[in-house]
Amino acid sequence: MSHALTARPHRVLVAEDDPSLRTVMQKVLVGQGLSVRETSDGQQALNALQTEHFDVAIVDIKMPKLTGLELLTQVGNLEDPPHVIIITAQNTMSNAIHAMKGGAYEYLCKPFDIDLFEDLVMRAVRDRASAHPPPGSFSDGFLDSPNARTLYGRSAAMQRVFKAIGRAARSPFSVLITGESGTGKELVARILHRESERANGPFVAVNTAAIPGELLEADLFGHAQGAFTGASKEKRGKFLAANGGLLFLDEIGEMPAALQAKLLRVLESKRFFPLGSDREVEVDVRIIAATHRDLAEDVRSGTFRSDLFFRLNVLTIHLPPLRERAEDIPPLAEWLLERHAREGATPHRTLSPEAMEWLCQYTWPGNVRELENVLVRAATYAQGPVIRQEDLVGPTGRLTLRTTGAQEESFESTLFNRLRPVVRTFPEPSSGDKSDLYELVVGTSERVLLQLVLRRTNGNQVRAASILGINRNTLKRKLDEHELAPEDFRKRSSRSRG
């Protein structure tokens, strides 16, 4: 079944300064029944958008005269703006966040699979045609400042985090950040603040688990003079300190039940009474909460209020543990060592291949925070310029790899760990020869995937295409490339039942 639309041709603008890629995209989209207008720089694209109607605009970030992000800002001023898909080879976290914050429909990194590109554009066209808003699901790299504490990730899991930050930054609603200890929840909250409309307001962080319950109410809401023994003068609480900005409530799952009720009232009315005061205070604060707990389970068990959970959980950002994105560890480790050396905190060190392999195999229960501490310790005490495996120790001695029991891994990390030895040992081609590593890995993976899905669907191509998320024409083409016949899988399934 083709994506092609039979009504009037929907119009797509392709703004890309690479003529070969522009031609490929144009041919693919015309093949789906779309009307395509091409431009080679940002100013041409803006002129076209201001004078013509388009349903979708595909915009490269790095273009002459006007960048893709600058163009995205201009698109937001149009009376009837198209859905904008940003494409770039500069797949940094900053680009991803700014694109999604600026209202992009999606953010796509080069090189991309042309079938996935086709499916994405057609989805954008359908959403635009049916007046649906951009997808509500909330994409790799560093912050612009090389010295800033930052998130890092080239994995698909971290791409999703960066997209979520971009979407949440332009929203006024509360955000719930979930993830294990050490994954960077407060850092995400600070990035959200910096990228939001409240960036010029204060950022105030409170660890609700670190303050005893009887003191937490006064710390958050303030107190009047004489409110309790020792309250010799009036105190402004954290809510008033964060007025006009953002209040980050870390470990919200540890908040006592009585304070949960008071916090809920503030979220609903934006008003509260300081402890011991009969004067109501009004505040304008955005709440970002974080937890390592499963709050939904706490709601079911009765330890966390369901109404507060739903108030906080308007937008959710989940930070994956480091063990589920092992492919991020090598560049992250190298960057952490470089950053600390540049700041003068440690001598300049590099990692031996064995040490790097060990870092990728360790499970990191303390996540990025633990990785950073291990690297700082190793860089400080290593006897030479290269950190060896035996230099990687924790605060209580040698760290041990977990070799027993099933370790949960993301699909991407599983692939990373499987392919790592293949890539390391694959021979480099002689001068003038062409390596077949890419074709070997991608071709074999694609063939196995097709076989497994066809087995699951009894050779039914419609179901197979649906499971794979591709159109039927693409599936047929790939089956022909791999010389796979759906009827063979129907026969095999019949024999296995017999």
Residue with tokens 């015309």: 30
Q: Do domains 11-129 and 435-497 have the same CATH topology?
A: no
Which of the four pLDDT bands, split at 50, 70 and 90, describes residue 8? low
In whole angstroms, how far apart are CA 43 and each of 49, 89, 200, 303, 345? 10, 20, 31, 56, 46
β 350-351/386-387 pair status = parallel
The torsion angles phi and psi of 35, rounded to 5 degrees, stand at -95, 125
CA distance 213 to 144: 39
Q: Which two tokens stand for residue 460?
A: 């039914």
In this structure, of 133-142, 194-203, 211-220, 345-354, the range with the lowest mean pLDDT score is: 133-142
What global pTM score does this model have?
0.60
β 281-282/271-272 pair status = antiparallel
The torsion angles phi and psi of 193, rounded to 5 degrees, stand at -65, -45
CA distance 482 to 380: 53
pLDDT at 345: 86
Residues 188, 293 contacting (CB under 8 angstroms): no
Residue 318 burial by CB count (10 A; 0-12/13-18/19+): exposed, middle or buried? middle
Q: Which two tokens stand for residue 341?
A: 């050396």
More confident call, 119 vs 234: 119
pLDDT at 232: 61
In whole angstroms, how far apart are CA 399 and each of 361, 389, 390? 11, 10, 10
Q: What is the separation, in whole angstroms, between the first and last Cα of the chain?
A: 32
Residue with tokens 């979520």: 164
| 72-85 confidence digits (pLDDT tens) | 988 888 878 899 99
Q: Which CATH superfamily is domain 11-129 in?
A: Response regulator (3.40.50.2300)
| 91-103 confidence digits (pLDDT tens) | 777 888 888 878 8
pLDDT at 337: 93
pLDDT at 351: 94
If one counts every other C-beta atom within 10 angstroms of the C-beta of residue 242, the result is 25
**Torsion from C-alpha of 144, 145, 147, 150, nearest 10 degrees:** -50
DSSP assignments along 174-193, one per residue:
-EEEE--TTS-HHHHHHHHH
DSSP assignments along 157-168, one per residue:
HHHHHHHHHHHH
CA distance 141 to 100: 15
pLDDT at 385: 92
Residues 6+ apart with CB under 8 A from 487: 459
pLDDT at 59: 94
pLDDT at 152: 78
- CATH number among 1.10.10.60, 1.10.357.10, 3.40.50.720, 3.40.30.10, domain 435-497: 1.10.10.60
CA distance 216 to 232: 18
More confident call, 408 vs 55: 55
Q: Which two tokens stand for residue 240?
A: 């008033």
Residue with tokens 């009232």: 265
CA distance 136 to 388: 46
Q: Domain 322-398 adopts which CATH fold? A: Helicase, Ruva Protein; domain 3 (1.10.8)
Find residue 393's DSSP bridge partners.
Answer: 398
Averaged pLDDT of the chain: 83
Asked if pLDDT for residue 43 goes beyond 90, the answer is yes
| 180-231 confidence digits (pLDDT tens) | 999 999 999 998 998 888 989 999 999 998 888 778 988 898 877 666 666 6
The torsion angles phi and psi of 160, rounded to 5 degrees, stand at -65, -35
Q: Domain 171-225+235-318 adopts which CATH fold? A: Rossmann fold (3.40.50)
DSSP classification of residue 59: E
Evaluated on CA atoms 292, 296, 299, 304, the torsion sign reads positive
More confident call, 356 vs 417: 356
pLDDT at 228: 67
Residues 141, 95 contacting (CB under 8 angstroms): yes
Q: Which of 333, 196, 208, 339 is nearest to 262 (CA)?
A: 208
Indicate the domain borders of the chain. Answer: 11-129, 171-225+235-318, 322-398, 435-497
Q: For 182, left (φ over 0), alpha (ψ -120 to 50), or beta?
A: left
Residues 6+ apart with CB under 8 A from 236: 222
Q: Which of 360, 410, 356, 337 is nearest to 155 (CA)?
A: 410
pLDDT at 498: 42
Percent of the chain clearing pLDDT 90 (strictly above): 38
- Please count the residues of the chain: 498
Residue with tokens 């006009």: 244
Q: Is 374 helix (H, G, I), strand (E, B) or coil?
A: helix
| 251-278 confidence digits (pLDDT tens) | 999 999 889 999 999 999 999 988 878 8
Evaluated on CA atoms 478, 480, 483, 487, the torsion sign reads positive
Q: Determine the average pLDDT of the residues in 156-165.
A: 85
CA distance 44 to 26: 17
Tell me which long-range contacts 125-128 makes (C-beta under 8 A, separation of at least 24). 125/5, 125/10, 125/12, 125/34, 125/55, 125/56, 127/83, 128/10, 128/55, 128/56, 128/82, 128/83
Residues 259, 249 contacting (CB under 8 angstroms): no
